Amino acid sequence: MNLPPFQRLVDQHARALHRFLCGMVGPDAADDCLQDTLLAALRSYEGLRHDGNLRGWLFTIARRKGIDHVRKHAREIPSSSPPDQPAQPEAVRDTDLWDRVARLPTKQRTAVTLRYLGDLPYADIASIMSISEPAARQNVRAGLASLRKELA
């Protein structure tokens, strides 16, 4: 097996992973989830048995880290006073759209963010989500339909 240097893999895919995580967990938590993703990937990189779809492998790790983050924060009890709002990155401008994407059902949100923020083909989305390719297409279609309906 001929694995590329890990840094080259990071350079090629970190930006797309970050966009995906912004859609999944929001722009404030995306940096931490990306760091967790890359650390987990680095720890297991030498032990990989297949080098066929390294991009899909990274997105699978990112998806799991995003799910872990969402579950962890769903259990937290909100404080009585909201924290100060940190400045959002310049790339994230339409907070209303982000809020709408965040309210999509988990499968639709994941499929839409993988497709449009991760720029992944449906076959990779299906692999990452452990569903069929038609189901991946359906989740993207349903998510977009929900967003269009809300925006209309």
Each domain of the chain, given as residue ranges in start order, spans 6-151
How much is the pLDDT for 28? 86
User: 61 CB contacts (<8 Å, ≥6 apart)?
Assistant: 37, 40, 41
CATH number of 6-151, picked from 3.30.540.10, 1.25.40.10, 1.20.140.160, 3.30.70.20: 1.20.140.160
Report which secondary-structure segment, H or E, holds 86.
Answer: none
How much is the pLDDT for 133? 94
How confident is the model over 27-66, as pLDDT tens digits? 889 999 999 999 999 999 988 887 788 998 999 999 999 8
